[in-house]
Amino acid sequence: MVKVKGYIHMQNKQSGIAAIFTVVFFTLLISVIILSFIKIVTQDQQQATNSDLSNSAYDSAEAGVEDAKRALKQYNVECIEVTTPDTANCAKYTNGTDTGALDGAQCNSFQSLTSIVNPSNISGSEVKVATNSTDDSLDQAYTCLKVELQTKDYERTLSGNDSDLIHLKTVNDTVFNEIHLNWFNKADNKYPKVETLPTASGFDLPVNGGWPDDRPPVLRAQIVAVPRGAGLVDSQFIDDSSKAVFMYPNQSGSNPIDIAANDIGRRWPKSSPASADCKENNAEYACNVVINSFEPGVGNYDYYLRVTPIYNNATFQVQLFNTASATPAEPILFDGIEPIVDSTGRANDVFRRVVSRVTFDDGGENVSGGSGFDITQGLCKAFSLADGYIDPATGNPKDYYRSNCPDTSPNPSLVDD
């Protein structure tokens, strides 16, 4: 009997230890689950807070960009569009000592424009961003705002067949004799494909949908030279004083392109597209072209460049150079054509920086639009679903020039789609 009782006592003791271990295990497991849940919730809250602060800092930087746009518009009205600008007033925007609000040299110089920046929002070296007197929960401000009127290049992204007209206005009217036109960068396609075409064989110009998305577009560049003080000009003037060239992407393309020799003009037959120098492994832009021989002759001219990508979208860059200057490799600065706005915003201790390019109209209204018909000899239009049509009277195939559309070669009056 003693042995049996001892066995029962030991069995009860072992069952109690197992129960304790079970309770401890489940307690630890539940603790781990609770701690993990708390950690996840805390991380989500932190991420949400960081996201709010980041977005608010971005909004603060954008507020600086919007103030810069207002200042640029005001500068354009007071100092560019007027016949006799007030020199003293314009000095607050830009001056020879780089202390103007639009000189892009100092972070706090923009604060001098009290018509743009409310002095009550200035706190030290930053400008507070608030919609009302109590809107300070995120402590928003833009801490540094620089606006640069003089830029080394012009950049823009265009959809296929859209055009951009650029006034090639330089600082102090500095003379240039080369236009560097680069297009189709990594943002357009990371892995561009360019064919290698012998220039003597001609170029394939497919229908719009037949152009691959990874191929740089054909680019049309038109340069218009307008005598200074000419005022508004008509289409006849544009025809007489402009040169245009189509540039086809080609691995074996050449530079520079003489736009006078390749001008499509109004000649018949039309010139073939020029062979543009494009490479698949270029660091930035797939196509890099130098255009020269665009000067109409002796005289003072304002130059306008119209850029049109055909078949595909394209980001393009324009730079101006003077090979006869003391610094031929240094780009000539554009003057107020596409100012660069550099704005840093803050929300509490989170900062965001935004760099934008601002484009505003600068005299392009003096140059005519991008499309039109020459109907000097009348207009006759025919439609066809094939390369010609079948004459219903004879059953013979005919080309587009039907009997009711007289052939006026070398300049036929027919316009076909």
369, pLDDT greater than 80? no
Q: Which residues pair with 142 in a beta bridge?
A: 127, 345
Q: What range defines the domain where residue 219 resides?
A: 153-332
The number of beta carbons lying within 10 Å of the beta carbon of residue 152 is 14
Tokens of 372: 């039109």
pLDDT band at 298 (very low <50, low <70, confident <90, very high): low
Looking at the structure, tell me whether residues 175 and 320 fall in a common domain.
yes
Contacts of 227 (CB under 8 A, 6+ apart): 299, 300, 301, 302
Looking at the structure, tell me whether residues 50 and 179 fall in a common domain.
no
Looking at the structure, tell me whether residues 120 and 27 fall in a common domain.
yes
Q: Which residues pair with 144 in a beta bridge?
A: 344
For the whole model, what pTM was predicted? 0.75
Least confident of 44-48, 84-88, 170-174, 219-223: 44-48
At which residue do the structure tokens 């805390």 appear? 42
How many domains in the chain?
3
Looking at residue 300, its pLDDT comes to 80
**Cis-peptide, bond into residue 269, ω within 30° of zero:** yes
Least confident of 117-121, 202-206, 263-267, 332-336: 263-267
State mean pLDDT over 211-231: 87
Percent of the chain with pLDDT strictly greater than 70: 75
389-390 and 397-398 beta bridge pairing: antiparallel
Taking the C-alpha atoms of residue 179 and residue 373, their distance in angstroms, rounded to an integer, is: 28
Q: Which of 81, 105, 140 is the endpoint of a domain? A: 140
Looking at residue 202, its pLDDT comes to 62
Least confident of 289-293, 314-318, 408-412: 408-412
Looking at the structure, tell me whether residues 189 and 302 fall in a common domain.
yes
Looking at the structure, tell me whether residues 179 and 328 fall in a common domain.
yes
Q: Using one digit for the tens of pLDDT, what is the confidence trace for 155-185? A: 999 999 999 999 999 998 899 999 999 999 9
Helices (H), 76-106: 87-90
Looking at the structure, tell me whether residues 200 and 98 fall in a common domain.
no
DSSP 58: H
Taking the C-alpha atoms of residue 331 and residue 320, their distance in angstroms, rounded to an integer, is: 6
Averaged pLDDT of the chain: 81
Tell me the torsion sign for CA atoms 80, 86, 88, 89: negative
Q: Is residue 338 part of a domain?
A: no
At which residue do the structure tokens 């971005």 appear? 58
Spell 218-233 as b/e; 16+ CB within 10 A means b: bbbbbbbbbeeeeeeb
406, pLDDT greater than 70? no
Which amino acid, one-letter code, is at 208?
A: N
Tokens of 415: 């316009």
Looking at the structure, tell me whether residues 202 and 248 fall in a common domain.
yes
State mean pLDDT over 230-247: 76
- Rounded (to 5) percent helix, strand, coil in the chain: 25, 30, 45
Q: Using one digit for the tens of pLDDT, what is the confidence trace for 76-115? A: 999 988 888 898 889 899 887 778 888 888 888 888 888 8
Q: Is residue 185 part of a domain?
A: yes
Looking at the structure, tell me whether residues 133 and 162 fall in a common domain.
no
Looking at the structure, tell me whether residues 163 and 113 fall in a common domain.
no
